[in-house]
Amino acid sequence: MGVRKGVDLLRKAVKDFELAKKYRDAKEYVTASMLYRNATEKVLKSLVMQKSKREPPKNASIEYLASKANIPESIYGDLVEMPDERSELMEEESLLEMEFEEKKEESVEAIEYHNAISKHDVVKRLIDYAKASANV
């Protein structure tokens, strides 16, 4: 049961990933980042379900899920360091409040873009690993 559910969840994660790419290409970076994060959580839950044959906790962190999924260290390190768009943008915005409004918008957009691109790369590697593990 856990394996089949895990594969179904992996397919949903791939759909989230594809949708995130469309938002990224449309320069909707915050939405893309959130969809990449959703895809990440689904892939990790899928891997945990396939390995343990049980569902992981509903509110588990990415770091917790990654440790339970036994993913390669190279992906694990990038996942746990993946930017969290909400907290990082809040920090940057408070620093930028002292600057001109136009420059602030450019800087925030650059941060959003960087977050979306870095998440894309990490999630792509994670999905490739999960597909290989599940023989999908």
CATH number at residue 80: 1.20.120.330
Q: Which residues touch 82 (CB under 8 Å, ≥6 apart)?
A: 37, 40, 62, 118, 119, 122
- Burial category of 54 from C-beta neighbours within 10 Å (exposed 0-12, middle 13-18, buried 19 and up): exposed
Return the higher-pLDDT residue of 40 and 59. Answer: 40
Amino acid at the residue 19: L
Q: What is the tens place of the pLDDT at every residue in 16-43?
A: 999 999 999 999 988 999 999 999 999 9
The region of weakest confidence among 25-29, 37-41, 76-80, 120-124 is: 76-80
| pLDDT classification of 87: cutoffs 50, 70, 90 | very low
Give the domain extent around 15.
2-134
Q: Residue 51 is encoded by which pair of tokens?
A: 């390995």
Q: Whole-angstrom Cα distance, residue 9 to residue 28?
A: 25
Angle at 124 between CA 40 and CA 56, to 5 degrees: 25
Is pLDDT of 103 > 70?
no
Other C-beta atoms closer than 10 Å to the C-beta of 3 total 13
Based on the structure, what is the number of domains in the chain? 1
Return the higher-pLDDT residue of 89 and 14. Answer: 14
Q: Are 122 and 75 in contact (CB under 8 A)?
A: yes
